[in-house]
Amino acid sequence: MKLGVIGCGKMGTALVEGAVKAGVTKAADITGCDPFPAAREAFVKSTGASIAGSAAGVASASEVILLATKPQDIAGALSDIAGAAAGKPLLVISIAAGVTLAALEDAAPENLRIIRAMPNTPALVGKGAAGYCLGSRATAEDAAAAEALLGAVGLAVRVPEKLMDAVTGLSGSGPAYVYLVIEALADGGVKAGLPRADAIRLAAQTVAGAAAMVLETGEHPAVLKDMVTSPGGTTIAGLAALENAGVRSGFISAVDAATRRATELGAK
Protein backbone atom coordinates (compact mmCIF):
# COMPACT_ATOMS: atom_id res chain seq x y z
CA MET A 1 0.00 0.00 0.00
CA LYS A 2 1.42 3.38 -1.03
CA LEU A 3 0.07 5.50 1.80
CA GLY A 4 -0.19 9.26 1.98
CA VAL A 5 -0.88 11.21 5.16
CA ILE A 6 -2.20 14.75 5.11
CA GLY A 7 -1.93 16.02 8.67
CA CYS A 8 0.97 14.45 10.55
CA GLY A 9 -0.30 15.06 14.08
CA LYS A 10 -0.43 12.49 16.85
CA MET A 11 -3.35 10.49 15.48
CA GLY A 12 -2.07 10.36 11.92
CA THR A 13 1.38 9.37 13.18
CA ALA A 14 -0.05 6.68 15.47
CA LEU A 15 -2.05 5.11 12.64
CA VAL A 16 0.99 5.06 10.37
CA GLU A 17 3.24 3.60 13.07
CA GLY A 18 0.72 0.83 13.62
CA ALA A 19 0.41 0.15 9.90
CA VAL A 20 4.19 -0.20 9.54
CA LYS A 21 4.49 -2.48 12.57
CA ALA A 22 1.63 -4.67 11.31
CA GLY A 23 3.14 -4.92 7.84
CA VAL A 24 0.22 -3.15 6.19
CA THR A 25 2.71 -0.86 4.46
CA LYS A 26 6.40 0.00 4.54
CA ALA A 27 8.05 3.23 5.60
CA ALA A 28 9.50 3.59 2.09
CA ASP A 29 5.94 3.66 0.69
CA ILE A 30 4.64 6.44 2.97
CA THR A 31 4.56 10.15 2.20
CA GLY A 32 3.21 12.82 4.54
CA CYS A 33 2.71 16.56 4.69
CA ASP A 34 1.88 19.01 7.45
CA PRO A 35 2.14 22.82 7.72
CA PHE A 36 3.96 22.62 11.05
CA PRO A 37 7.71 21.78 11.03
CA ALA A 38 7.60 20.15 14.46
CA ALA A 39 4.83 17.79 13.34
CA ARG A 40 6.72 16.88 10.18
CA GLU A 41 9.91 16.18 12.10
CA ALA A 42 8.14 14.01 14.69
CA PHE A 43 6.34 12.11 11.93
CA VAL A 44 9.56 11.30 10.08
CA LYS A 45 11.35 10.32 13.30
CA SER A 46 8.51 8.01 14.41
CA THR A 47 7.68 6.38 11.08
CA GLY A 48 10.70 6.69 8.79
CA ALA A 49 8.40 8.09 6.10
CA SER A 50 9.12 10.81 3.55
CA ILE A 51 7.72 14.33 3.53
CA ALA A 52 6.18 16.13 0.55
CA GLY A 53 5.82 19.87 0.29
CA SER A 54 2.06 19.81 -0.23
CA ALA A 55 -1.09 17.72 -0.27
CA ALA A 56 -0.72 17.60 -4.04
CA GLY A 57 2.69 16.00 -3.62
CA VAL A 58 1.23 13.41 -1.28
CA ALA A 59 -1.54 12.60 -3.75
CA SER A 60 0.85 12.07 -6.65
CA ALA A 61 2.84 9.50 -4.62
CA SER A 62 -0.06 7.58 -3.05
CA GLU A 63 -2.77 5.00 -3.62
CA VAL A 64 -4.48 5.53 -0.26
CA ILE A 65 -4.59 8.85 1.57
CA LEU A 66 -5.23 9.25 5.29
CA LEU A 67 -6.85 12.66 5.67
CA ALA A 68 -6.05 13.68 9.24
CA THR A 69 -6.48 17.44 9.07
CA LYS A 70 -8.76 19.63 11.14
CA PRO A 71 -12.38 19.63 9.89
CA GLN A 72 -12.12 23.22 8.64
CA ASP A 73 -9.15 22.27 6.43
CA ILE A 74 -10.83 19.30 4.73
CA ALA A 75 -12.22 21.14 1.69
CA GLY A 76 -8.88 22.74 0.89
CA ALA A 77 -7.03 19.43 1.23
CA LEU A 78 -9.48 17.65 -1.06
CA SER A 79 -9.13 20.43 -3.62
CA ASP A 80 -5.34 20.04 -3.56
CA ILE A 81 -5.64 16.26 -3.90
CA ALA A 82 -8.06 16.59 -6.82
CA GLY A 83 -5.73 18.94 -8.66
CA ALA A 84 -2.85 16.49 -8.41
CA ALA A 85 -4.84 13.29 -8.95
CA ALA A 86 -6.39 14.37 -12.27
CA GLY A 87 -8.36 11.21 -12.88
CA LYS A 88 -6.06 8.93 -10.87
CA PRO A 89 -8.21 6.62 -8.70
CA LEU A 90 -7.49 7.23 -5.04
CA LEU A 91 -8.97 6.06 -1.77
CA VAL A 92 -9.28 8.81 0.85
CA ILE A 93 -9.89 7.85 4.49
CA SER A 94 -10.99 10.88 6.50
CA ILE A 95 -10.74 10.95 10.29
CA ALA A 96 -12.05 14.51 10.60
CA ALA A 97 -14.66 14.59 13.35
CA GLY A 98 -18.19 15.47 12.25
CA VAL A 99 -17.47 15.78 8.52
CA THR A 100 -20.08 13.66 6.75
CA LEU A 101 -19.66 11.45 3.72
CA ALA A 102 -21.96 13.78 1.80
CA ALA A 103 -19.75 16.76 2.59
CA LEU A 104 -16.60 14.83 1.71
CA GLU A 105 -17.98 13.53 -1.58
CA ASP A 106 -19.39 16.93 -2.53
CA ALA A 107 -15.88 18.38 -2.15
CA ALA A 108 -14.15 15.55 -4.03
CA PRO A 109 -14.12 14.60 -7.72
CA GLU A 110 -15.51 11.25 -8.81
CA ASN A 111 -12.10 9.60 -9.04
CA LEU A 112 -11.72 9.86 -5.24
CA ARG A 113 -13.35 7.08 -3.22
CA ILE A 114 -14.19 8.15 0.31
CA ILE A 115 -14.29 6.41 3.68
CA ARG A 116 -15.14 8.24 6.90
CA ALA A 117 -13.61 6.97 10.15
CA MET A 118 -13.63 7.85 13.84
CA PRO A 119 -10.62 6.48 15.75
CA ASN A 120 -9.97 7.28 19.41
CA THR A 121 -6.92 8.38 21.37
CA PRO A 122 -5.86 4.95 22.74
CA ALA A 123 -4.72 4.33 19.16
CA LEU A 124 -1.64 6.23 20.33
CA VAL A 125 -0.68 3.17 22.39
CA GLY A 126 -2.00 0.55 19.98
CA LYS A 127 -5.27 0.00 21.85
CA GLY A 128 -7.66 2.06 19.77
CA ALA A 129 -11.30 1.52 18.87
CA ALA A 130 -12.56 2.93 15.58
CA GLY A 131 -15.76 2.96 13.59
CA TYR A 132 -15.81 3.56 9.85
CA CYS A 133 -18.33 3.81 7.02
CA LEU A 134 -18.07 3.65 3.24
CA GLY A 135 -18.88 6.36 0.76
CA SER A 136 -20.99 5.67 -2.33
CA ARG A 137 -17.97 4.95 -4.53
CA ALA A 138 -15.96 2.88 -2.03
CA THR A 139 -15.47 -0.82 -2.74
CA ALA A 140 -15.05 -4.00 -0.71
CA GLU A 141 -11.29 -3.72 -1.31
CA ASP A 142 -11.40 -0.18 0.10
CA ALA A 143 -13.18 -1.47 3.21
CA ALA A 144 -10.43 -4.07 3.64
CA ALA A 145 -7.77 -1.35 3.35
CA ALA A 146 -9.51 0.77 6.00
CA GLU A 147 -9.91 -2.26 8.25
CA ALA A 148 -6.20 -3.05 7.92
CA LEU A 149 -5.10 0.54 8.60
CA LEU A 150 -7.41 1.21 11.54
CA GLY A 151 -7.12 -2.33 12.89
CA ALA A 152 -3.34 -2.02 13.04
CA VAL A 153 -3.75 0.08 16.19
CA GLY A 154 -6.70 -1.73 17.79
CA LEU A 155 -10.27 -2.60 16.87
CA ALA A 156 -12.05 -1.43 13.70
CA VAL A 157 -15.81 -1.83 13.25
CA ARG A 158 -17.73 -1.03 10.06
CA VAL A 159 -21.07 0.69 10.65
CA PRO A 160 -23.64 2.56 8.53
CA GLU A 161 -23.02 6.29 8.59
CA LYS A 162 -26.17 6.95 10.61
CA LEU A 163 -24.39 5.26 13.55
CA MET A 164 -21.14 7.25 13.33
CA ASP A 165 -22.38 9.76 15.90
CA ALA A 166 -23.04 6.84 18.24
CA VAL A 167 -19.47 5.65 17.64
CA THR A 168 -18.31 9.16 18.55
CA GLY A 169 -20.42 9.19 21.72
CA LEU A 170 -19.24 5.73 22.80
CA SER A 171 -15.68 4.98 21.74
CA GLY A 172 -14.66 8.45 20.54
CA SER A 173 -15.52 10.14 23.84
CA GLY A 174 -15.38 6.95 25.91
CA PRO A 175 -11.73 7.15 26.99
CA ALA A 176 -12.59 10.24 29.03
CA TYR A 177 -15.34 8.33 30.82
CA VAL A 178 -12.92 5.51 31.62
CA TYR A 179 -10.27 7.93 32.89
CA LEU A 180 -12.91 9.26 35.25
CA VAL A 181 -13.59 5.69 36.42
CA ILE A 182 -9.89 5.06 37.01
CA GLU A 183 -9.53 8.32 38.93
CA ALA A 184 -12.60 7.53 41.06
CA LEU A 185 -11.46 3.97 41.79
CA ALA A 186 -8.05 5.30 42.80
CA ASP A 187 -9.71 7.88 45.07
CA GLY A 188 -11.59 5.02 46.71
CA GLY A 189 -8.34 3.16 47.22
CA VAL A 190 -6.73 6.22 48.76
CA LYS A 191 -9.73 6.63 51.07
CA ALA A 192 -9.22 3.02 52.13
CA GLY A 193 -5.54 3.70 52.91
CA LEU A 194 -3.60 2.93 49.71
CA PRO A 195 -0.83 5.29 48.56
CA ARG A 196 -1.98 7.40 45.59
CA ALA A 197 0.55 6.00 43.09
CA ASP A 198 -0.29 2.41 43.98
CA ALA A 199 -4.03 3.12 43.84
CA ILE A 200 -3.79 4.60 40.34
CA ARG A 201 -1.72 1.68 39.04
CA LEU A 202 -4.04 -0.90 40.57
CA ALA A 203 -7.14 0.89 39.25
CA ALA A 204 -5.74 1.25 35.72
CA GLN A 205 -4.59 -2.37 35.58
CA THR A 206 -7.96 -3.54 36.89
CA VAL A 207 -9.76 -1.67 34.09
CA ALA A 208 -7.30 -2.96 31.48
CA GLY A 209 -7.62 -6.52 32.76
CA ALA A 210 -11.41 -6.45 32.86
CA ALA A 211 -11.53 -5.07 29.30
CA ALA A 212 -9.17 -7.82 28.12
CA MET A 213 -11.42 -10.45 29.71
CA VAL A 214 -14.42 -9.16 27.72
CA LEU A 215 -12.51 -9.06 24.43
CA GLU A 216 -10.58 -12.30 24.81
CA THR A 217 -13.26 -14.56 26.30
CA GLY A 218 -16.18 -13.27 24.25
CA GLU A 219 -18.40 -13.56 27.31
CA HIS A 220 -21.11 -11.02 28.02
CA PRO A 221 -19.95 -8.52 30.68
CA ALA A 222 -22.83 -9.62 32.93
CA VAL A 223 -21.51 -13.19 32.91
CA LEU A 224 -18.03 -12.04 33.85
CA LYS A 225 -19.48 -9.78 36.53
CA ASP A 226 -21.34 -12.72 38.08
CA MET A 227 -18.12 -14.75 38.14
CA VAL A 228 -16.66 -12.17 40.54
CA THR A 229 -19.80 -11.73 42.64
CA SER A 230 -20.10 -14.17 45.54
CA PRO A 231 -23.34 -14.32 47.61
CA GLY A 232 -23.09 -11.91 50.50
CA GLY A 233 -19.52 -10.94 49.53
CA THR A 234 -17.55 -7.76 49.00
CA THR A 235 -18.27 -7.36 45.29
CA ILE A 236 -22.06 -7.44 45.61
CA ALA A 237 -21.82 -4.84 48.36
CA GLY A 238 -19.83 -2.60 46.02
CA LEU A 239 -22.17 -3.22 43.10
CA ALA A 240 -25.18 -2.34 45.25
CA ALA A 241 -23.51 0.96 46.15
CA LEU A 242 -22.91 1.71 42.45
CA GLU A 243 -26.55 0.94 41.61
CA ASN A 244 -27.73 3.19 44.44
CA ALA A 245 -25.54 5.97 43.03
CA GLY A 246 -27.03 5.59 39.55
CA VAL A 247 -23.67 4.82 37.92
CA ARG A 248 -25.13 2.59 35.21
CA SER A 249 -27.71 5.17 34.11
CA GLY A 250 -25.04 7.86 34.32
CA PHE A 251 -22.86 6.12 31.74
CA ILE A 252 -25.83 5.47 29.46
CA SER A 253 -26.74 9.15 29.69
CA ALA A 254 -23.14 10.18 28.96
CA VAL A 255 -23.02 8.19 25.72
CA ASP A 256 -26.45 9.50 24.73
CA ALA A 257 -25.48 13.12 25.44
CA ALA A 258 -22.20 12.84 23.54
CA THR A 259 -23.98 11.22 20.59
CA ARG A 260 -26.54 14.01 20.43
CA ARG A 261 -23.77 16.62 20.64
CA ALA A 262 -21.89 14.94 17.80
CA THR A 263 -25.05 15.15 15.69
CA GLU A 264 -25.42 18.85 16.52
CA LEU A 265 -21.82 19.61 15.60
CA GLY A 266 -22.07 17.68 12.35
CA ALA A 267 -25.12 19.70 11.33
CA LYS A 268 -23.28 23.02 11.57
In tens, the pLDDT along 96-119 reads: 988 999 999 998 888 899 999 999
Mean pLDDT along residues 123-135: 96
- Residue-wise pLDDT for 43-54, tens only, equals 999 999 999 999
Please provide residue 92's backbone torsions phi and psi, each rounded to the nearest 5 degrees: -115, 120
268 CB burial (10 A radius; 0-12, 13-18, 19+): exposed
207 vs 200, 210, 214, CA distance in Å? 11, 5, 11
pLDDT for residue 252: 98
pLDDT in tens, 180-190: 999 999 999 99
pTM strictly above 0.85:
yes
Kindly list the domain boundaries of the chain, sorted by start residue.
Answer: 3-164, 172-266
pLDDT at 4: 96
Residue 168 has pLDDT above 90, yes or no: yes
Whole-number Å distance between alpha carbons of 89 and 59: 10
Homologous superfamily in CATH for domain 172-266: ProC C-terminal domain-like (1.10.3730.10)
pLDDT (0 to 100) of residue 80: 86
Q: Which CATH number fits domain 3-164: 3.40.50.10860, 3.40.50.720, 1.10.3720.10, 3.40.50.1820?
A: 3.40.50.720
C-alpha span between 250 and 246 (Å, rounded): 6
- The mean pLDDT of the chain is 94
Q: Averaged over 46-72, what is the pLDDT?
A: 93
